[in-house]
Structure 1
């Protein structure tokens, strides 16, 4: 199978044959069909065999595989520009992003191609901003990292909250819960929750955490926030509605901060304080999660230990990560809920609050891939409402778009107001 010269397509999925890539391609097909869209798209991967297998799977859901443009490319060996020059928007499903994404973004800027990915690696995000933001602004090219479960539910939940909040937001407390099947807490087979690719990226993130903090302090030295409200000054653990909560370990809060800084600097939008927390059964947290994360955090600075983590993911994660990934049943049974409690003042300067809840299932793959596709389509269809160029955090890129409506319409996420104090 040779590479196909297809001209300029609307969308190309890079890394289409990977675990997340296949979900992304199938969701792309589904969204285009259900919305009667006329977007042109193609796939790119490095393995002829895996490409052929994917084409067969797409044929089983009604696609004519002979009409699907295919660009073979091994980004470690080939010129990635053979892919980027053929796309208006590149959907990057490869990883780990810390290693692979920088040359891909560089190629996108050279070929005038917009870019989205599913990264959750903060070091990668800030590196892209430092290295390519100026060029992206000059070229009018939009680069938006972290368009998957990491960031999209939190950032769009805040957009939904802001839209319905009657007044000025001063602070938001976000309580994030990932509800996994009960059998996953105990020894046994088929308890995997996360594919190896995510684990590989997490190890890189732990390795680069100190470097990220240093780069963030250098990149964003200015404090743009009012003093932290007393209500938000909590200890590492605090109780809320009978559960023990602690700071959410994902990149969401940092990306919220980056988004607010962009909107403050470019549009003069007053930032509000936002804290994201999560919870889990106390025994599991104290006996398993905390000890493991502290040990791995420090040992990840040793090259030999990092290689052990990558080589034996099942062993070092008690079976929660594997090269095979979760079963379809386990993925669908994994649910999540983000509850946003917004506080501020109304037009009469009276205290007011609003609570919004965002829910969904299969966060790692179905939600991630669908969110990624909708982010790419939003760039195509709502370019006038997106900044003309730059390496943009999700909140800055999609603040004025209808991305929330698209997520609702395509059954990606559910948004609801559960309390409205007037």
Structure 2
């Protein structure tokens, strides 16, 4: 890739999330001495993005190169990939627009990173393109934003904590805090969720093709939580989290078992925290309606035609305001279970160690996502020698295990700390 013109190309720079990624790249590229460009369909919109980003960041970005590329025009994607060492793909929903970009990157030797939280897309790309990506020495890393680097970071952190023992299971608890103006998400994220739910049954056959062999049997199982429950670890009511974290983490676990990073499988269960039982019940009601309507073409039309009605204003095509984004934060609390030593694990019995840790970060959908994506791109560029894989379609946890990911995130206001570490026969 020595002949490549740009270290990073932000594809979809004029989209809602793409604008945040442009701001983040502008800050990081100056420090890391990286060359970069932006790409998308409209020259006028891309020029406007650079003017606005110049105003927001205080940097003169109006001379940053622009590449015209469109997901409906394969030659334009090929031209973009020929010029990039790493493409940061911000164009979703990825089930509709992702594959042509992946294909162009693999064919022309550009590493591809995206921020998809769509299991069907992520796992389909692995099934279809892993072999070709390895042949062409290209990395394709999905879920490199809020979906699902915070979850993967928690797994990495706890793996390190249990280095001299055995980690057997992890629970994660996502809690979102909004400011006085409330929060919101962009329409494209909502659209991805609608189509993801409507096609969820595809995953059964897809996973049988991707993983014909069952996961090794677990020796120690986590407690099965009810559909809603109160957690004293976070002092909140909790529900099962329906995002992509679970599927991504389990793909990482399979990779680690294959490559020897893990000798034993672990369980992972993600949960969503709500402020009260009433809030939890409201969310369950909304999710039930959302899931039901997503199963039918007319229901999907209604959901996508009137997003503000069905989400009480939480989803808009304009996306959240800057003030909403600036005042939104989130935390992810991890509870890791295991044994304090290999001797204790070999002796049998129940896990005797419990580690409670917490990640704290700014707005999840756009600020944290941009930080995660850009730092992932920098690692691919700067730390190829310490990455366990030089090619293939991978999860962040498989790609970045053993790299400086956690340290880089901490320098950018995404921090994990240990809250408690308990060893004893009864936890």
Query: Is this a same-fold pair by TM over 0.5?
Result: yes
Match of 1:395 in 2: 397
- Distance in 1 (CA, whole Å) between partners of 2:62 and 2:93 is 31
> Structure 1 residues 64, 179: CA separation in 2 closer, same or farther (over 3 Å shift)?
closer
Contact 1:192 1:322 in 2 (8 A): no
The answer for the alignment partner of 1:368 in structure 2 is 369
Q: Which runs of 5+ in 2 are unaligned?
A: 346-351
Q: 1:7 to 1:296 in 2, by over 3 A?
A: same
Partner residue of 1:410?
412
Corresponding residue of 1:84: 81
Unaligned stretches of 5+ residues in structure 1: 1-5, 184-189
- The CA deviation string for residues 252-286 of structure 1, in whole angstroms up to 9 with x for no partner, is 01111000001111226222112111221321332
Q: Give the Å deviation of 1:417.
A: 0.9
Aligned length: 406
Matched, 1:234 2:222: no
CA distance in 2: counterparts of 1:282 and 1:238, whole angstroms = 9
Q: Distance in 1 between matches of 2:231 and 2:280?
A: 16
Query: 1:230 & 1:154 partners in 2: Cα distance?
Result: 19
Change (3 A) 1:369 1:156: same
- Asked whether 1:342 is paired with 2:336, we answer yes
- Paired residues of 1:191 and 1:319 also in contact (CA < 8 A): no
**Structure-2 residue corresponding to 1:16:** 13
- Once residues 9 and 301 of structure 1 are traced to their aligned partners in structure 2, the CA distance between those partners, rounded to angstroms, is 43
Task: Give the distance between the partners of 2:365 and 2:34, measured in 1 at CA.
Answer: 26
CA RMSD of aligned residues (A): 2.0
The residue correspondences of 1:294-333 to structure 2 (distance < 5 A) are 294-333=288-327
Deviation at 1:73, TM superposition (A): 1.9
In structure 1, what is the equivalent of residue 240 of structure 2? Answer: 247
> In the alignment, is the contact (CA less than 8 A) between 2:308 and 2:315 conserved in 1?
yes
Distance (Å, rounded) in 2 between the aligned partners of 1:244 and 1:59:
43
Counterpart selection for 1:197 from 188, 191, 211: 188
Aligned 8 A contact 1:173 1:340 in 2: yes
Judged with a 3 Å threshold, the aligned counterparts in structure 2 of structure 1 residues 196 and 66 are, in CA distance, closer, same or farther, namely closer
Deviations 1:193-233 (A, max 9, x none): 10111111111111111112331233224333433635423
Distance 1:143 1:400 in 2: 18
Q: Select which of 164, 168, 171 maps to 2:166.
A: 168
Q: Tell me by how many angstroms 1:7 deviates.
A: 5.4
**Aligned equivalents of 1:298 and 1:21: distance in 2?**
31
Q: Which residue of 1 aligns with 2:260?
A: 267
**Cα 1:110–1:150 shift into 2, 3 Å:** same
Which one scores higher on RCO, CA 8 angstroms, separation ≥ 6? 1
2:357 aligns with 356
Distance 1:42 1:214 in 2: 39
Secondary structure at the residue paired with 1:95? coil
Indicate which of 66, 72, 92 corresponds to 1:70.
66
Tell me by how many angstroms 1:78 deviates: 5.5
- CA gap of 1:267–1:231, structure 2 versus 1, over 3 A, is closer
Paired residues for 1:127-206 under 5 Å: 127-165=124-162, 166-181=164-179, 191-206=182-197
User: Taking structure 2 as the reference length, what is the TM-score of the superposition?
Assistant: 0.90
